[in-house]
Amino acid sequence: MRILTATLIATLLAGLTTAASLAQDEARWAIVVHGGAGVIERESMTADTEAAYRAALDAALETGGAILSEGGSSLDAIEAVIRDLEDNPLFNAGRGAVFTAEGRNELDASIMDGSNLNAGAVAGVTGIRHPITAARAVMENSRHVMLAGEGAEIFAREQELEFVDPAYFFTERRWRSMERAVGDLGLPLPERPAGAPEPEEIQEGHLDLMEREHRFGTVGVVALDQSGHIAAGTSTGGTTAKRWGRVGDSPVIGAGTYATESCGVSATGTGEYFIRLNIAARICHELEVMDRGAEERAFAAQDAADMVIQGALTDLGGDGGVIVLSGSGETAWSFNTPGMYRASWGSDREPVVAIYGDED
């Protein structure tokens, strides 16, 4: 009788332990963020500028982490974080977007739900305040994946999304950078946009830093929610002085953004290379192959990212970086530029914010 009682108690305790373990697994969440890659070096960064970027990345983690820790969805976390980054003129997305050679801001964004492979994207939009919200609306409220230009904006108006005057996106340093690039290309300078503020003084050193750090400017987020769903999103203003309606990798599903049940990627870099190599989907494929090939790989996400960024991308002559998140909550980043604005946090780890190449 005593043996039977002891056995029943042991079984009950084992069951409770298993239930607690499952509950802990279900509560797991993680988020990883990037704000662009480029020639970002300590000697060219002022203390105030560095502090501003770190504060913005930390705020992004707090916004996304608050949603995920309270049981919110990965899609909601991604949209909320990217909307904030689109409103922050530090980053080349939304309000901080670079100018085309014609003096316009043409914005791209995409989002993907790894649980069902649904995706949405917009490209070349000029008046939508939050392109990432438009991309999500395309995913959820249309039968298409990507909408571009005027058609995307007609759809956004039908969805009652917020529009702003073009001057909302104007920042002096972006304008001055475009003027310099257009001059180097031997093209005529466009007229200053109607409604733009009066010209202000910009230090040449700040312009040099901005051009180097934001040559590959983009913002992106990948998140894992407590339901085990991964999603990824990316938003960008493109490249300075771009022409002819150029579109890079950010709104291209598989190139700049990709998510499955077990992997999520957001990329930043020279879009033409990321498109040709299908970088984001390629990393997820490599990660899934690694997961199938071994029962336990503690650093599979990092290995997959490095294999593609330090290997295929570098070999082709492209540059930039990625953030990666696996189904187990492992986060990783890889870049072949001197720096990348990046941050990560999870239910089982402390927040990490980094900028330079020699930071963990």
Catalytic residues: 218
Nearest to 87 by CA among 219, 263, 246: 219
Least Cα distance to 102 among 272, 247, 245, 270 occurs for: 245
Tokens 């949405």 correspond to: 120
d(CA 200, CA 202): 6
Q: Which two tokens stand for residue 145?
A: 């994946």
- Other C-beta atoms within 10 Å of 219: how many? 33
**Cα dist from 62 to 29, 81, 332, whole Å:** 13, 9, 19
Residue 358, classified by CB atoms within 10 Å of its CB into exposed (0-12), middle (13-18) or buried (19+), is exposed
Task: Compute CA 119 distance to the chain's CA centroid, rounded to the nearest angstrom.
Answer: 15
DSSP class of residue 153 equals: H
Helix ranges (H only) for 27-111 are 47-69, 74-86
Strand partners, 121: 110, 146
Look up residue 355 and give its amino acid. Answer: I
Do the beta carbons of residue 93 and residue 85 sit within 8 Å? yes
Give the position of tokens 């790989």: 297
Rounded alpha-carbon distances, angstroms, from residue 253 to 73, 241, 275: 20, 24, 9
